[in-house]
């Protein structure tokens, strides 16, 4: 069974548009979270003069809070890239 090459190209164009939409919606999702992360870091005393004297549990929590934004960005890029890749494979 042969596939229509033109149909595959049009299908890929649609995939790129949907992936771009996923990316932009994901980036809009990050903006409200940023303020919450900043307030959490302030409440945990992750920065400042007294930051060296915090407990090990608070240090780990500060690292987890700091990793939230990059983790969310990786998930967003993976979703968009996975959608495009699935259109190449199928």
pLDDT at 33: 86
Instruction: Calculate Rg over the CA atoms of the chain.
Output: 20
What does the alpha-carbon distance between residue 74 and residue 27 come to, in Å, rounded to a whole number? Answer: 11
Q: Give the count of beta carbons closer than 10 Å to the beta carbon of residue 19.
A: 19
pTM over 0.75: no
Average pLDDT for 21-31:
86
- The first and second tokens of residue 87, run together, are 């259109």
What does the alpha-carbon distance between residue 77 and residue 90 come to, in Å, rounded to a whole number? Answer: 20
What does the alpha-carbon distance between residue 34 and residue 41 come to, in Å, rounded to a whole number? Answer: 11
* Secondary structure E strands in the chain: none
Return the domain boundaries, the chain.
5-89
pLDDT at 31: 83
């Amino acid at each position: 069974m042969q596939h229509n090459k033109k149909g595959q190209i049009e299908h890929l164009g649609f995939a790129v548009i949907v992936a771009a939409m996923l990316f932009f919606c994901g980036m809009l999702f990050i903006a409200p979270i940023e303020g919450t992360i900043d307030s959490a870091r302030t409440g945990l005393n992750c920065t400042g003069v007294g930051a060296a004297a915090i407990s090990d549990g608070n240090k780990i929590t500060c690292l987890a809070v700091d990793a939230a934004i990059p983790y969310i960005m990786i998930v967003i890029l993976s979703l968009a890239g996975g959608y495009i890749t699935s259109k190449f494979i199928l």
